């Protein structure tokens, strides 16, 4: 059976290293079904919770470039089970990824959930759209309250995805996640302080 992501990622040189490291049998004898060419409910829910993504492109000189893209939670939209899209907001104005995709539309995305130590990796073809090319899509991916200048839309056609094991992913937490985790402690502390103040008042 196919293993979509690895079918793309594994080249002759990769196979040579796998053989050198004694790992070639793991993949050459794979008997499962992991083509993963359509997003399921699990992937859609995972993507909807992300507020950042790492996206890699390749230049005409063959050099890779990895860029971080972020925004409000869920800024990367699942349009259908094979399509993603996101609004591209103004950044440092180098436009390296945009230029790379004009010459080579292939991309690899890493979506991370650090607290749960989960990682979704995606191969996709990227299409650049001007804001007026697809008004409905532009409206769908635009996050109104987000205060940033919108420059273009990127639409991504899924080729394959895969999940990685959690090994070596160090849990990290956002300010919002920490605040939510400690809120019960803050509430309990406020309650105890109020009770303590009341007891002091009675004693006085």
Mean pLDDT, rounded, for 33-60: 91
Strand runs labelled E in the chain? 52-58, 64-70, 77-80, 83-89, 106-113, 118-129, 150-164
pLDDT per position as a tens digit, 153-204: 999 999 999 998 888 889 898 888 899 989 999 999 999 999 898 888 888 7
Q: Which residues contact 34 (CB under 8 A, 6 or more apart)?
A: 1, 2, 3, 4, 5, 6, 162
Write phi, then psi, for 196 (nearest 5 degrees): -65, -40
Kindly report the pTM of this predicted structure: 0.84
Dihedral over alpha carbons 125, 130, 134, 138 (to 10 degrees): 90
Say if residue 114 is in the same domain as residue 192.
no
Write phi, then psi, for 50 (nearest 5 degrees): -85, 145
Say if residue 184 is in the same domain as residue 121.
no
Distance CA 107, CA 124 (A): 5
Output the pLDDT for position 29: 66
Q: Which domain holds residue 16?
A: 1-34
pLDDT band, residue 89 (cuts 50/70/90): confident
Say if residue 95 is in the same domain as residue 141.
yes
pLDDT band, residue 1 (cuts 50/70/90): very low
Say if residue 43 is in the same domain as residue 59.
yes
How many of the other CB atoms lie within 10 Å of CB of 67?
Answer: 17
| CATH number of the structural domain spanning residue 136 | 2.30.110.10
Say if residue 129 is in the same domain as residue 197.
no
**Is the model's pLDDT at 24 over the cut of 70?**
yes
Dihedral over alpha carbons 83, 84, 85, 88 (to 10 degrees): -140
Token pair of 176 as six digits: 């919002």
Say if residue 16 is in the same domain as residue 67.
no
Distance CA 21, CA 17 (A): 6
Structural domains of the chain, count: 3
Percent of the chain with pLDDT over 90: 55
**Is the model's pLDDT at 2 over the cut of 60?**
no
Percent of the chain with pLDDT over 70: 95
Say if residue 52 is in the same domain as residue 18.
no
Share the mean pLDDT of the chain.
Answer: 89
**Closest by Cα among 102, 49, 89, 105 to 73:** 49
**Is the model's pLDDT at 110 over the cut of 80?**
yes
């Amino acid at each position: 059976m196919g293993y979509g992501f690895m079918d793309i990622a594994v080249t002759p040189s990769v196979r040579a290293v796998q053989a050198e490291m004694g790992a070639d049998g793991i993949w050459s004898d794979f008997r499962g079904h992991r083509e993963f060419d359509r997003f399921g409910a699990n992937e859609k829910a995972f993507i909807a919770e992300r507020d950042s993504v790492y996206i890699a492109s390749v230049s005409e000189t063959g050099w890779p470039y990895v860029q971080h893209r972020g925004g409000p939670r869920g800024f990367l939209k699942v349009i259908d089970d094979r399509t993603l899209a996101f609004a591209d907001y103004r950044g440092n104005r180098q436009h390296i990824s945009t230029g790379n995709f004009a010459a080579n539309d292939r991309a690899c995305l890493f979506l991370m959930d650090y607290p749960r130590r989960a990682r979704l990796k995606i191969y996709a073809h990227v299409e650049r759209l001007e804001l007026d090319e697809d008004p409905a899509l532009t409206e769908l991916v635009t996050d109104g309250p987000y205060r940033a200048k919108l420059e273009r839309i990127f639409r991504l056609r899924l080729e394959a995805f895969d999940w990685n094991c959690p090994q070596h992913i160090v849990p990290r937490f956002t300010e919002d996640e920490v605040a939510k985790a400690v809120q019960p402690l803050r509430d309990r502390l406020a309650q105890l302080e109020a009770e303590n103040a009341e007891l002091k008042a009675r004693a006085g």
